[in-house]
Structures are given as structure tokens and as C-alpha cells.
Structure 1
Amino acid sequence: MQFLSDNTASVHPKLWDAMRGADAPDAPYDGDAVSKQLDAAFGNLFGRECRVLWVATGTAANCLALSSMVQPHGGVVCHREAHIEMDEGGAPGFYLHGAKLMLAEGEGAKLTPGAIRAVIDPIRDDVHQVQPHAISITQASEYGRSYRPEEIAAIATLAKERGLGLHMDGARFANACAFLGGSAAEAASRSAGEVDALSFGFVKNGGMSAEAIVFFDTALADVAYYRRKRAGHLQSKGRYLAAQLLAMLDGDLWLENARSANNAAQEVASVAADRLIHPVEANEIFLRCTPAERAALRAKNFDFYDWGADAARLVTAWNTPQEHAVALSKAIASL
């Protein structure tokens, strides 16, 4: 019973159908009829103009978005536990040509204006020190915590005051939306225009090989368009990636899938209150769990990651069977 990662989940059948539907001769790269629908489709979702580029991975989405707003001599303020710092193998330095990640603290892997100021205020405005060019936040955070619209608005206000770009790593953006219960625009900020670029994750949510970079500052897309090619992410048959994205938006399948994953996570969390390290606000559960207890769970055929010496991370997916979530909750209760 798989709780290792939502990356292990199968591809939603509707996406296979969409890719088969795109399996016909068309213009190469992003000149096809399917790719040309992305700007309008995402614009309708967020209620404002945007430009959208497809890429194959979340790492590429994050780094190409940041590369459009950060110069090699600049820096990106992010949380110490951010994916771009902990889990992207130095890709930000590669894509941003040496730009620095400037690490901040924050409970639940979330940033606050105060935490950001603690990093940037001591920096002298001179050529001898790296200057911040952007802020990157993660929705939901690396510990499954969801930013409320007012929290993002406060960070966006600070970014605007300091002339910094604002990027959102939305690998589990759908799960945050499902938890918050509002619109996609509200999960990106109060009005969506306060985030300059969003890496909108789909692979963890039932996709196969497509992520979206959504540029609300549309001028940034002009830069990323060329950088995507240079980075090797301009696929010659991009219509198959675009077809996945459109299929996920159709009928709010992206939100339906996220709700299913979140519901499974809540089933598990319902019996683990005293063990929870973080509130469950998406589809990740972090439990206090000794090595012996983890071994006992694995003996019952549950697969998950250890998270340090005395903790475990369990992740539900869009297709986690209800009976698996119930079985896990009973196994945790019996520890």
C-alpha cells in the first residue's frame, strides 16, 4: 500500500485519452493547435491575462520561471526547506547561472514578511554583496502547509516595495486550492496578479509528463520562451504536453483529483492527532514515529519515507484507495 509519494500514482485515464486525441499531425514545438489554447484556458481559470509555457518537470518549471526574473549576480529568497534548496540537485544555480539562494526561516516551511526582511535588510546596497532579485514561496509548503490569501498578499506587498519578483512553486498547488476551498486565483494570492510566475504542478496530481509555468507578468514569458529552448525543454511534440494540461483543466479534473488525495490524507490524520508534527493542509502527513513503529507499519505492507530519526512522511495521491487509507489509519491507531 503506497504512501511513498504522489509521484508514484498512475496517470489519470482522461489524460491518456487527451494524448491519443492529440496523436495527429500538427505543427511542431508549441505551434500546434493544442498549445495555442493554453493562454486562454489558464486565463479563464485565474480570471486574468497570463501566458503559459509547458515543460516536463517541476524542477524545470521552477528554475525557468526564476531565471526570467533573476540575474546571475542576484539572489532568490526562499525557505531553508524549500524544494529549490533541498531537492533540485543544484538546478537553480545551473539555470540561473550562479545566482544565490538566500535562505530564510519560517514555521511549517512557510515564509513571512518578517522572515524575508531578516534576510534582506542586513544586505548593503553595494556591489560587494549579492542583491535579492526575487522571492520564492511554495504552495503547499514542503511540510504540507497552505498559505492563506492574506499571507501571500503580505509577501507580495513586500516584494513590490523592494522591487523583487515573486515566484510560487506550486508542485501541490491543486492540493492547497482544495484545502482552502477558494478559487485558483485566491490560492495564488488575493487577486492572482500579486504573483509574477506560478509553477503549476500536474504530474503529482494525475499527470504524466507536463507542468505549466503560468506567467502573470506576461513580459517574463518573453525571456523564459528562449531560456526553455536553451535548457533543452522545448519538446518537438509539445502538443502531447499541452493536451495533458488542458485535460486536467477540463471540468476541474485537477481540483477533483486533489480533493480525493486530500480526503485520503484527512482519513489518516484523523487518528494521528497526537503524532502529527504539522497540521494536514494538503496531502502530506508528517508523523512522530520511532524506528520500531515504522518497521511495524512496513511489516503490514505500507510504503513511505523516513523523515529523520523519529518521524515518517506519508503522501496520499489522487487514486489512493479508500480502503488503503482506512487500513493505514487503523495501523497507526494500533501502534
Structure 2
Amino acid sequence: MTQMKPFLSDNAAPVHPKVWEAMRAADSADSPYDGDALSAELDERFTDLFGRECAGLWVATGTAANCLALATMCQPHGGVVCHEEAHIEVDEGGAPGFYLHGAKLMLCADGHGSEGAKLTPEGIAALIDPIRDDVHQVQPHAIAITQASEYGRSYSPDQIEALSAFARSRGLGLHMDGARFANAAAFLGGSAKDAAGPVDSLAFGFIKNGGMSAEAVVLFDPEQANLVKYRRKRGGHLQCKGRYLAAQILAMLEGDLWLANARHANAAAQDIASGCRDRLMHPVEANELFVRLSQAEREALRAQHFAFYDWGEDAARFVTAWDTRADDASALGKAIANL
């Protein structure tokens, strides 16, 4: 059978060899749960990476990372402001409501200067300012943004700072869903500190970028870590052999492997984009491309063994990964150009 050229999702990419090596190196007896030596390193490693004190906790999924972080900011009677196409709204199966005990997601659309599923202070203000300050209406408690956004757009440091200043002025927490945080950081120049800005919490994604089964909840208020530890246990995410999750994260942080992997994926996306600039629905600022293609054109690409997802009736999404072959990316760009 002809091998498909995979552009379905970076979730489909294999585990990076250095992650496997780290897990094998961790394969000896140590304290269970998060009492092992590797888990104990995470706080210091993330503090060094972001240049400010923080706590890092492993979990198995990005959904859990988002929800556990948001639960520190939002009471059950409150709300979390997010984009109407945010992952926590569209693709987490109601988990935020479950973990936050019924807290509401308050949805913003593009507009007021926002595009590509990115929020702005003006857009958030337009949503929440009409809310009366009384018990009959849900009050906002937090804001959640996605870096890079659901359309592959990266928030600049200035944009994050503006959102943080707005959140502080309204007494709101600011959480960042960083499923593709590494790709955003690579696009912005390689600084984790700049890509995160002054957010209160971050779901740092590793699985899409070469990890196997570990994501990180990064809390920039370390005092919240104890609260999250209890909720992680209650939510079924305190794994008894946590050293294997810690090993994955540390392997990705070692030598900035997380950043090198993301740069490779981003470069492959730019190679593809060079063949379809006039078809792009959004600028390519990470490792996702949203391309206008008719059904016949999509069928023609699949006949050439390119694997990807349809995006509505007249578009497709292509996602590159840390292991995307340069030849495959170049071939896809040329194939789209030749349609």
C-alpha cells in the first residue's frame, strides 16, 4: 500500500526518541505518585525557563491541564471568558463545566479588533460590560486565551500584556491554553517568557510536540499548586508512576528540544504556505494551515496520498509536526500550487 503523507494532526506524530530514552532511564524504583526525584525538578526547571517563580505539575491531557488551572480562578457560580471557537468550548466534551462544577463559558466572537480566534480587551469588554453586578447574572471570573489560537495565530507579547492589564483592572484571572505553545514561541522568536507573558497559568503542551502522555500545568502563583494537587487527585490525574510523565517533560525541556521540534514543524508549514498564499484563510503563525479548497480539489490531493481534515465545505486544515518530512511538505505545497 502507498504510504500516506500525514498532515492530519500533530497528535498523530510519533514520540520523539529522546523522550523514549528518558522514560527508559526513569525505569527504576523511586517514590510513587509525585514524590519522585524527577517530579521534584519541575518547579525549578519551569522557573528557569520562564524567568519567574512558578510551579509545574504533570497531567496526562491538555484538557485536564486547562480545567485544573481554570478551577483555581473561577467559582462554580462564575464564568470564564473565551473565544467561541476555543478548544475548551468546542473540543473538550464539557470538561470545563465538569471540573469547575458548573461554571459557565462566556463566548466572544471575532470583532473589536480580534481575528483568527484571538481575543482583545475591547472584545471582552463588549461582552462583559453589559452584565449587571447582581446575583441574577453570571459574573466573569477569568479569561482563557489559546497560544497559538485555534486558527494558528500567535499572540504577540504586547497583546498578551494588554490582555493581562485588562484582566488585572477587572479582577480577573488570565489562563493560557498552550497546546501549541511551543509553535507560538518559535514563531515569536524562541522565548517562552515572551510567548507566555504575564499570564496567571499555562497549560504547556508537550504531546503534540513529541511527547507521549504528559502535559504540564504551570502556575505562576506557586501557592495555587497545593490546591491543584488535591484537585488533580480528585479528578483522577494523579498517576502512581508519575516519574514517567516528569521524565517526558524534562526530556523536552533539556537543550530546548521543545523549541527545536516546534521550529521544524513551523518551517514545514511555511514551506507548504509558499505554494498556497492566495488560498490561505489565516496567516501561518505556527504549524497549522487553513486553506480554501473545493471538494474536487481535496479529492485530488487525497488521490496523491495527502492525509488531512476537511474544514467545512470549501476548506481544509493541514498540520505539520516535529517529524514532518521536508520532501512531504514541499510536495504538498507544490501539489496545491498545481491545482
TM class by shorter chain equals over 0.9
Spell out, residue by residue over 1:162-203, the C-alpha distance to the aligned partner (whole angstroms, 9 max, x if none). Answer: 1100000000000001001041000001xxxx2110000000
Q: Which residue of 1 aligns with 2:61?
A: 57
How far 1:219 moved relative to its partner?
Answer: 2.1
Q: Does 1:183 align with 2:228?
A: no
Letter in 2 for 1:292: A
Residue from 157, 160, 177 that aligns with 2:165: 157
Q: Which residue of 2 aligns with 1:6?
A: 10
Spell out, residue by residue over 1:43-88, the C-alpha distance to the aligned partner (whole angstroms, 9 max, x if none). Answer: 1101111001100000010011101111100000000110000100
How far 1:271 moved relative to its partner?
Answer: 1.1
Letter in 2 for 1:211: E
> Within 1, Cα distance between the matches of 2:225 and 2:91?
25
Residue from 119, 131, 137 that aligns with 1:129: 137
Q: Is the 8 A contact 1:307 1:313 kept in 2?
A: yes
Q: Which residue of 2 aligns with 1:89?
A: 93
Residue from 67, 74, 81 that aligns with 2:71: 67
Q: Which residue of 1 aligns with 2:34?
A: 30
User: For structure 1, which runs of at least 5 residues remain unmatched after alignment?
Assistant: none
State, as a whole percentage, how many aligned pairs show the same letter: 73
Spell out, residue by residue over 1:202-256, the C-alpha distance to the aligned partner (whole angstroms, 9 max, x if none). Answer: 0000000000000002222221111000000000000000000000000000000
> Within 1, Cα distance between the matches of 2:289 and 2:312?
14
Q: Is the 8 A contact 1:64 1:228 kept in 2?
A: yes
> Within 2, Cα distance between the matches of 1:225 and 1:166?
20
Q: Does 1:258 align with 2:262?
A: yes
User: For structure 2, which runs of at least 5 residues remain unmatched after alignment?
Assistant: none
RMSD, matched Cα: 0.6
TM-score (norm 2): 0.97
Q: Is the 8 A contact 1:69 1:220 kept in 2?
A: no
SS at match of 2:116: helix
> Within 2, Cα distance between the matches of 1:58 and 1:206?
14
Q: Is the 8 A contact 1:55 1:233 kept in 2?
A: yes
Q: Which residue of 1 aligns with 2:311?
A: 307
Q: Which residue of 2 aligns with 1:173?
A: 181
Q: Does 1:44 align with 2:48?
A: yes
SS at match of 2:148: coil
Q: Does 1:223 align with 2:231?
A: no
Letter in 2 for 1:29: Y
Q: Which residue of 1 aligns with 2:152?
A: 144
Q: Which residue of 2 aligns with 1:204?
A: 208
> Within 2, Cα distance between the matches of 1:142 and 1:310?
18
Q: Which residue of 1 aligns with 2:118?
A: 110
Q: Which residue of 2 aligns with 1:98?
A: 102
> Within 1, Cα distance between the matches of 2:147 and 2:311?
20
Length, aligned pairs only: 331
Q: Is the 8 A contact 1:70 1:134 kept in 2?
A: yes
Letter in 1 for 2:108: A
Instruction: Give 4+ residue runs of structure 1 displaced > 2 Å after superposition.
Output: none
Q: Which residue of 1 aligns with 2:249?
A: 245
